[in-house]
Chain A
Amino acid sequence: MMLLEIDNLMKAFGGFQATDGVNLSVEKGSLRSLIGPNGAGKTTLFNQITGYLVPDSGRVVFKGKEITGLHPYQISRIGITRAFQIINIFPRLTVLESVQLAILAKRGHTLKCFAPAKKMVLGEAMAVLETVNLAERANALARELSHGDQRVLELALALAGEPELLLLDEPMAGMSPFERVKVTELIQRIHQDRGVTVLFCEHDMDVVFGISERVTVLHQGRVIAEGPPEEIKKNEEVHMVYLGQSEVN
């Protein structure tokens, strides 16, 4: 069954066609990566899936329902959450509070005005922090974390939203090799243990070819190749896009 279907999606900024008729289907339970050179339209595509940008035309269908044009807060509630390429956290909330709030928001409890938030979904929030190995920092303010830990919190926020589809936008950006290994394992664990469908974009090809079940290659706003990692590795067009014309000649 297809969890996410993207049908001929178009988005232009001025004269620049950032998304030029993208078609993409993500099967439920899969671990899919999205690659492409800078400016290929990966983040723009994520922004359209999550409702931050409205496409000029085309459709985004999630679990058989069209979600094109819904607001981010509506889309995250129906099961698509996202970790950002740049750190996008709540500096003066503690780690635990941030994660509790993400769970409360997903479950539609955030309009409750008189319940003590501190005591709500505490177990679930700590479980998320255990999963990402951030439990020890639960009571630290988000802004006090190291860069690597802030990236992990970024991921924890997306995970706490109890997603069916998790979008990760360059989750390893700016991480040390050691942290990359940990986050790679974490993504695999989230995928396997929680059965979350994952769509991620990443520049680290070792990670991409190491853990993806399928790889989609985006170039100039279009999908130019899609398939299992081995196939993509051998694809000449992909080589050309990544390594330039000289390689082929």
Chain B
Amino acid sequence: MAGGSNSVWRSGWLWAGLAVVGLALYPQFVSRYYIVLSTEVVILALLATSYNLIFGYGGMVSFGHAAFFGLGAYAMAILTKHYGNPMLVGLLAAPVIAAAFAFVIGWFCMRTIRLYFALLSLAFAQLLYVIVFQWYEFTGGSDGIQGVPRPEILASHASNYYFALAVTILCMLVMWFIVNSPFGWSLRAIRENTQRSQFLGINDRFYKVIAFTIAGAFAGVAGGLYALFQKWADPELLFWTTSANPVLMSILGGMFNFVGPSVGAVAFVALREIIKVRTDYWPLVLGLVLLTLVLVLPGGIVGFVAEKARYLRSATKGGTQAP
């Protein structure tokens, strides 16, 4: 048994390695359009994966994740453009600032559960949005901050892609360790049965605040990368419609799998690009696709594939696996 699960574990690393090689070689074969698009996908994958720490693993539906994404973007924009700091300072400050806000907001939100939690997280995010929107001297108000400087080394589209990819992979690796640690398991246990987790000795509310903070930090990194990628930060990044994106990506790709949200990010951007050139009603079509998915594939794309793979494996083994 242990050997079996071990080899699965190793093959997981093998697949991850192949994916990284593929992602690294890919820009050599495609046009600039796809490189730019892929950069966005990579950043959104990081955002969605950070969100899924609390959504899929922690079982908390937050409608305010954009706040931390936006804070990260503004941290990068303000620190580099207005205060002339190097890009790396911005990229390190982005998660710190986002995490600080996430800790405070999480601490308040964790007093409530389910719908109340979702609405409170939304309210906090909208509050931050309004502040950013109104505080003209500091944030540029509705104009945002234009012209976030990119260092020389990230001048080309390809180098920008590679940089976003490298940072995202690093963050994903850290998150992968977290979800497979005793802390990550505790989060899953809290999601599955909060009351029982308390009786095991887990202080659920504290763990949820920590998870919320970690998720906020990585959303901050994604925001910092995003400001660098599009060279500006605007209040839209904190708006509630932006909060919906990681929720949709997680559901689309599969919230009970580590790579689900990343697959969801690819599917989301691909859908958007395909639909956008054909109709102005892209949100409508997206809505229909989501509706179908939730009804037909409740586990998302990855959940569906994993289910089939498991079924095939057990069929070839002569049904040793329990149904």
Contacts and interface: CB of A to CB of B under 8 A. Distances in A.
Main secondary structure of the interface of A (DSSP, over half): loop
Interface in B152-209: 177-178, 180-186, 188-189, 192-193, 195-204, 207
Interface in A100-157: 100-102, 104-106, 108-118, 120, 122, 138-140, 144, 157
B184 A117 contact: yes
A76 B181 contact: no
A97 B197 CA distance: 13
B5 interface: yes
A76 B189 contact: no
A103 B200 CA distance: 8
A167 to B, nearest CB: 10
Interface stretch (A37-45, A83-91, A174-182, A228-236): A83-91
Contact of B181 (A74, A77, A81, A113): A113
B256 A157 contact: no
Interface in A39-92: 50, 52, 71-74, 76-77, 81-82, 84, 88-92
B322 interface: yes
Listed residue (B1, B178, B182, B323) with the most chain A CB atoms within 10 angstroms of its CB: B182
A114 B177 contact: yes
Contact of B192 (A90, A104, A108): A90
A88 B200 contact: no
Contacts of B183: 110-113
Contacts of B181: 112-117
Listed residue (A77, A104, A120) with the most chain B CB atoms within 10 angstroms of its CB: A104
Contact of B203 (A73, A90, A114, A120): A73
B183 to A, nearest CB: 5
Contact of A113 (B2, B178, B198, B202): B178
A117 B195 contact: no
A52 B195 CA distance: 9
Given A106-B200, A157-B196, A161-B201, A90 B182 contact: no
23 contacts: A52-B199, A71-B203, A73-B200, A73-B201, A73-B203, A74-B201, A77-B201, A81-B199, A88-B199, A89-B193, A90-B188, A90-B197, A92-B256, A93-B185, A97-B185, A101-B185, A104-B182, A108-B201, A111-B182, A111-B210, A117-B182, A118-B5, A144-B322
Interface of A: 50, 52, 71-74, 76-77, 81-82, 84, 88-93, 97-98, 100-102, 104-106, 108-118, 120, 122, 138-140, 144, 157, 161
